Amino acid sequence: MYRSHIKLMNKNWNIFIAISSILLFWQYTMIQNVIKQYNIHSVSMSQKSQPTNHILLAQNPEQKIQKAYKSAKFLAVIDTNKRVKYNNKDLFCLAKNIFHEAGNQSDKGKFAVAQVTMNRTTDPNFSGTVCEVVYAANQFSWTRSSRLKSSHPSGKEWDDSMRIAAEVLGDGKRVKGMENVLYYHADYVHPHWKHVTRLAQIGAHIFYNKA
């Protein structure tokens, strides 16, 4: 073979290698671009599919509770985070009031009576400790009985009353819409109350807002 032929073959081979290198580099670049676009698209879709999680992470527990309370239905029992300082005596007094006033009512009825009691502890006309509100003269009919005042109830209704009292005092559970309720009576009596506005009936009790 002539030297001129060898030089030509070497030249052609070098051109082939150069073109192949360019093609391989181009293919590598295209593949990397596709992978990059896919990753960006995947992250974007993941963010769109989980907007609620990002919102919840940005909220503190108090904001979550406030949002849940605002969106709750009227008269729904829900957490408010309104925990109060209390002792065993407060717990016992609140449970006894729930038991004697609404022991045979639904849980919501029990919570409603508990809320009236708690509302009165901060109202100027009734303010005081839980026990002072419960045993105030001529407020809750059962307290007129010395036997009931000195008794220690038992049974399922008492256990339910204790549980609800603990949830009201310790967990801050309240009834939506009853923030200003101070009065109620059984549906079989018809008192002539002034300066009150009827709110709702829960079980056998009719509840009133102060006017």
Give the residue-averaged pLDDT of 36-65: 55
Strands 196-202 and 205-210: antiparallel
Q: Do 53 and 78 belong to one domain? A: no
Instruction: Kindly state whether residue 67 falls inside one of the protein's structural domains.
Output: no
Instruction: Kindly state whether residue 21 falls inside one of the protein's structural domains.
Output: yes
Q: Do 13 and 79 belong to one domain? A: no
Instruction: Kindly state whether residue 63 falls inside one of the protein's structural domains.
Output: no
Instruction: Kindly state whether residue 69 falls inside one of the protein's structural domains.
Output: no
Q: Do 120 and 169 belong to one domain? A: yes
Instruction: Kindly state whether residue 64 falls inside one of the protein's structural domains.
Output: no
Q: What is the pLDDT of residues 109-157, one digit of tens each?
A: 999 999 999 999 999 999 899 999 999 999 999 999 999 999 999 999 9
Q: Do 46 and 83 belong to one domain? A: no
Total domain count for the chain? 2
CA distances from 16 to 6, 9, 29, 119 (A): 15, 10, 20, 91
Q: Do 86 and 53 belong to one domain? A: no
Residue 202 is part of which domain span? 74-210
Q: Do 86 and 167 belong to one domain? A: yes
Name the residue with higher pLDDT: 103 or 19. Answer: 103
